[in-house]
A and B are shown apart, each in its own frame.
Chain A
C-alpha cells in the first residue's frame, strides 16, 4: 500500500514537472527555435491599396567573405560526365518530388550529369547520415543535400569533402564549413513578410492566428517563424499570436493539431499558418471539415464572416488546388512558396559550375540555365529569388 502510494506520488511529481515545463513554451516570447540568430524584418507595405505584397527584392549588401568548405584532392572533371546523388530530407512527399524533377530537367539540359535521388522515408537525422555515408563509400562525384539538422549532418558532409566529393546543399542548410555552396530558395525575412502580409489581407490587421509547424527545432521553419514574429511586431502590432503547435511533417497529426486549434479557440481564431507542405493542406482540410471556410461561413450565416478561418501557408500547388480552385474553391486564397522545381534545377547547375570551376569562392554570380544569373549572398549561398505566391489565378499552371 505504502509502496503504491510512493509510486503514485512519484508519477504525480513527474507529471507536475512535465506540465510546469510545458507551460513556458506557450509563454515564450521568441520563436526562433534552435538558434539565436538576429532577425531582420523587411519594410512594411507602403500604401493602403496594395493588396498583394510586393516581391521582396534584396538590396545588394556588402558581401561577407566566402565561408564554405572545400573538397580535398577532388579530381578535375571539368566538362566531363559526373555522377551525383541527391539526399533530400526524406522521399515520398510532393515537395521533394518537385526538386527531383527540377534536377532531372537540369541534368537533361546539361547532358553530362547523372543524378539519382535517395533518402530515408522519414525525416530522421540518423537515417539521413547513414544514407550519405553509404554514398561516400560507394564513391560519387558530388552530393546534393537538404539537411534534417544543420549540425548533425556536418561531420558526414565533412567526411565527403575529405574524400574529394563536391557538396552542395539546397532547401535546408548545414553548417557552412561542411559544404561548398548552399542554394537558398528564399531569404527568411522575405518569406516571413509574404506570409504575414497574405494573412493580414484576409483577417485584417487586428485578427488572431495560430501556427502549425513541423518541430520547433526544424531550422527553416524556426527561422521563418522568428522572421514572421519580427515582421508582425514591426508592422502589425495589433495581430494576436495565439499559439504555435508542432505536428512533425505528419499528415494525420497536422490535421488533428489544426482541428484542436479550431475547437480550442473557437471564434477567436481567425487564421492558421501552415509552415510545412504537409501542415498547410491538412490545416485547410481541418477548416473545411469544421465548416469554417470563408465561403461556407458566408453562406451559412451571412453577415458574420468572422466565423471563418483563413489558411495561409507554405505548400506545393497540387496539394492546395482543391482548396484554391477545386471542390472547396476559395477556402485558401494564397499559398506562399518558391518554385521547388527551380530549386532542384538550380542546385544541379551550381554543382556543375563548381565542378567546372566556373563558380569559385569569392564569385558574386553564377549562370543557371533558364533561371539566368543567380546572385551569391551571405558568403557562400546562391539565392534563387523572391518568394512566389500561388493564387487562384496562377495555381493551375503548376503541376507538382
Chain B
C-alpha cells in the first residue's frame, strides 16, 4: 500500500511538473509559433525551405543583437529607446573613420573597433544619467535617441560612405558552413546572454532589481554598477549591429536603425518579459524574434502586402500577450 501511494504521488508530481512546463510562457509561445509556421506553410510552398529560413536570419540579426541586452534592461524595469540611434551613430563613425577620402583614413579594423567603443560610450552615458542623476530610463533614452541621431547626422554631413573592401561584406552577406555568417554571431551571443541571465549572480541580480530595487540595494547588490553595465552592454551590441548592418547593405547613412528600438522591444515583450521588470528570459526573446520575422516573411510569401502584414503582426502581438496573460493567471490561480 505504501509503495502504491508513493508511486501515485510520484505520478502526480510528474503530472504537475509536465503541466507547469506546458504552461510556461516560453512553451506557450513556442506552440503559437508552431501553429503560425503550419498556417504559413499552407500559404506558400517557398516558405518552409532551408534557403528561405536561413536567409531570414540575415534580416533578423540586427534586431536580435539589440534585443538580447534589451531583455536584460527590461527585466530590471528599465528601457533603452536609444539603441537605433546608437546604431546609426556607430555606423557613421565606422564609415567616417575609415573613409579613404575623409580626414582620418584609419584601417577598417581600427574603425570598427573605434565604432564599438563609441557604442559602449553612448551606453555608458545613458547608464550614468539614469543612475547618477536619477532621470528615469524612458526619459533619458528618449533624449539620447534624439541626441545620438543628431550627432550621426552632424558627423556624416549628410554624406554616405561606400565602396568598402570586398572582404568586409563577408560578415553581412557571406556564409559560414552554409549558414549566414552573422547568424553564428547571433547564436554565440544568445548562448552567452542566456547563461549570464540564468546562471550567474549578476544575471539573477537583474531580476532582483526589477522586482524590488530598494530590496536589492539592501541585499548588497550593486544596483547602480549593474545598471550602468547593462546600458553599456546595450550600447556595445548596438555598435555590433551597426557593423553587421553596414556590411550587409554596403553603405553608411545617418538614418540607419531608425525604429530599431521598437522592433527589439516588441520581440522582448512578445517573448514574455514583463515590461514592469522582474521576469523574462532570453529563450522567450529569441522565440519572439523568430515569430515576428517568420510572420513578416511568411505573410509576404503568401501574397499579403506589406501594409496588410503589419496589421496582422500587430494583431498577433496583442493576441499572444492576451493568451499568455490568461494562461499565466489561470496557472497561478491553480497553484
Bound-complex Cα distance A89 to B162 (A): 21
Does A3 belong to the interface (CB within 8 Å)? yes
Please give, as numbers and ranges, the residues of chain B lying within 8 Å of A28 by CB-CB distance: 157
* CB neighbors of A among B288-315 (8 A): 296-297, 300-301, 303, 305-307, 310
- Which residues of the other chain, B, contact A124 by a CB distance below 8 angstroms? 258-259
Most buried by B among A10, A116, A119, A122: A10
Q: Does A10 contact B249, Cβ atoms closer than 8 Å?
A: no
Given contacts A24-B157, A152-B249, contact A121 B307 (CB under 8 A): yes
Does A126 reach chain B (CB closer than 8 Å)?
A: yes
Q: Are A151 and B151 in contact (CB under 8 A)?
A: no
A34 to chain B, nearest CB (A): 5
Is B154's CB under 8 angstroms from A151's CB?
A: no
Give the CA-CA distance A137 to B47 in the complex, in Å. Answer: 8
With the chains together, A59 CA to B310 CA distance in Å? 47
Contact assessment for A138 and B301 in the assembled complex, using a CB-CB cutoff below 8 Å: yes
0/1 per residue, B11-49, Cβ < 8 Å to A?
000000000000000000000000000000000101000
Stretch at the interface among A61-69, A127-135, A165-173, A202-210: A127-135
In the complex, how many angstroms separate the beta carbon of B254 from the nearest chain A beta carbon?
Answer: 7
Question: B81 near A: Cβ within 8 Å?
Answer: no
Q: How far is the CA of A202 from the CA of B156 in the complex (A)?
A: 35
A216 touches B125 (CB 8 A): no
Q: Interface on chain A toward B: helix, strand, loop, or mixed SS? A: helix
Return the CB mask of A18-56 against B: 1 if under 8 Å, else 0: 100110110010000110000000000000000000000
Query: In the complex, what distance in Å separates the CA atom of A125 from the CA atom of B256?
Result: 8
The answer to the question of A107 belonging to the interface, with a C-beta cut-off of 8 Å to chain B, is: no
Cα separation A248 to B47 with both chains bound (whole Å): 34
Contacts of B147 in A (CB 8 A): 14, 18
B253 pairs with A17, CB closer than 8 A: no
- The CA-CA distance from A236 to B132 in the complex, in Å, is 56
Proximity string of chain A (121-162) to chain B, C-beta cutoff 8 Å, 1 when within and 0 when not:
110111101110111011100000000010110110000000
- Check A25 against B159 for contact (C-beta < 8 Å): no
Residue in contact with A34 in the complex, picked from B154, B160, B297, CB distance below 8 Å? B160
The residues in B between 130 and 171 inclusive whose CB is less than 8 angstroms from any CB of A are: 132-133, 147, 150-151, 153-160, 162, 169
Determine the residue in chain A with the shortest Cβ distance to B301.
A138
Chain A residues with CB below 8 A from B173, complex form: 155
A24 to B132, CA, bound (A): 33
Contact among A22, A25, A152 for B253, CB-based, below 8 A: A152
The reply on A91 being an interface residue by CB < 8 A is: yes
A131/B249 in contact, CB under 8 A: no
Flag whether B55 is at the interface (Cβ < 8 A).
yes
The reply to whether A137 and B46 form a contact with Cβ atoms under 8 Å apart is: yes
Query: In B243-302, which residues have CB < 8 Å from any A CB?
Result: 245, 248-251, 253-256, 258-259, 296-297, 300-301
Asked if B251 contacts A151 (CB within 8 A), the reply is yes
Contact B46 A139 (CB under 8 A): yes
Residues of A within 8 A of B221 (CB): none
Contact A217 B255 (CB under 8 A): yes
Considering only CB atoms, which chain A residue lies closest to B163 in the complex?
Answer: A151
B108 within 8 A of A: no
Contact A33 B158, beta carbon cutoff 8 Å: yes
A149 to B36 CA separation, bound complex (whole angstroms): 33
User: In the complex the two chains form, is A152's CB within 8 Å of B250's CB?
Assistant: yes
Q: Which of A21, A92, A125 contacts B249 (CB 8 A)?
A: A125
Taking Cβ atoms with an 8 Å cutoff, the residues of A that contact B are: 3-4, 6-7, 10-11, 14, 17-18, 21-22, 24-25, 28, 33-34, 91-92, 116-122, 124-127, 129-131, 133-135, 137-139, 149, 151-152, 154-155, 215-217, 222, 246
The 3 closest A-B pairs by CB, nearest first: A216-B158, A21-B154, A151-B251
Query: Could you list some 11 contacts between A and B, CB below 8 A?
Result: A11-B125, A121-B310, A125-B255, A126-B249, A135-B300, A137-B46, A137-B52, A137-B55, A138-B301, A151-B162, A246-B153
